[in-house]
Amino acid sequence: MIEEISKLDLNDTLGIILGLKSHPEFIDGKRQSTLLLALKSARYLTGRNIETGKYVNPVNPANFEFDMAWKVGYHSTVLIGLTNYLIFLDLIGCVFVPKNRNRKHSKVEFEDALYFFANNSSLSKSEMEALKQLRNSLAHNFGLATPGYNFSLSPKYAHLIKLPLVSKRESTEASSKKSSFTEINELKLCELVEDVYATVCSEFKDGNITIRPSLSKNELIERFTLE
């Protein structure tokens, strides 16, 4: 019952949300953390171990053209998996902030998740915005374009993200269309989100994170768990 969970202190509740602590109500699927649901489904759909996040089922890009039906199925699965990873990133930003931070949290939870917890990343604000727009494109349209962005996904790209030479709105001619695409390596993007999760777990264990000031413990349970 949710009443039993509400008796937990904040630290135990956050530990359960992250999958680092247990409670009888969260055993055998009685109640589940929506963060873990998003993370584990993203891992499954992108060929990763659902418990560790390790990439265990690589797909050879050279074989994409071998079977069109398989190709369509692969891309559909990857897009759903990426959507779940980006939703998970948004959830991290909605819930967690560091206790000791060198800037205030913003109203953009997605970017806060990257700014506060992507320790091994040197993403610029423009790159964070592009990833947020990819999230919007996938979640709202299940596609790779917004009014301001065209996205290209490939595991062959050497970089996590490469911003376009010209904006989509500037690419009115066919000759400049290719240069208006934002290139993203989906494998590296998944690794980025896994790194964010690992950082949040580490910071939690060290007692360095808490919930956003606008979020109460009861609201945390109501919004980020379900049965």
| Between 28 and 191, residue with greater pLDDT | 191
| 156 domain residue, yes or no | no
- Give the residue-averaged pLDDT of 87-93: 97
Domain that holds residue 63: 2-122+190-226
46-60, 152-166, 178-192: least confidently modelled range: 46-60
Confidence of residue 175 (pLDDT cuts 50, 70, 90): very low
| 178 domain residue, yes or no | no
User: What proportion of the chain, given as a percentage, has pLDDT over 70?
Assistant: 82
pLDDT at residue 91 tops 60: yes
pLDDT at residue 59 tops 70: no
| 179 domain residue, yes or no | no
| 158 domain residue, yes or no | no
| 112 domain residue, yes or no | yes
pLDDT value of residue 180: 85
Domain count of the fold of the chain: 1
Taking CA atoms, 171 is separated from 78, 82, 153, 176, in Å, by 28, 27, 19, 5
Which DSSP symbol is given to 173?
Answer: S
**How confident is the model over 134-147, as pLDDT tens digits?**
999 999 999 999 98
| 172 domain residue, yes or no | no
SS3 readout for the chain? CHHHHCCCCHHHHHHHHHCCCCCHHHCCCCCEEHHHHHHHHHHHHCCECCCCCCECCCCCHHHCCCCHHHHHHHHHHHHHHHHHHHHHHHHHHHHEEECCCCCCCCCCHHHHHHHHHCCCCCCCHHHHHHHHHHHHHHHHHCCCECCCCEEEECCCCCCCEECCCCCHHHCCCHHHCHHHEEEECHHHHHHHHHHHHHHHHHHHHCCCEEECCCCCHHHHHHHHEEC
pLDDT value of residue 183: 95
| 180 domain residue, yes or no | no
pLDDT value of residue 172: 59
Average pLDDT, the chain: 85
User: What proportion of the chain, given as a percentage, has pLDDT over 90?
Assistant: 58
Q: Tell me, what amino acid is at 143?
A: G
| 143 domain residue, yes or no | no
73-77, 121-125, 204-208: least confidently modelled range: 73-77
Cβ–Cβ < 8 Å for 226, 10: no
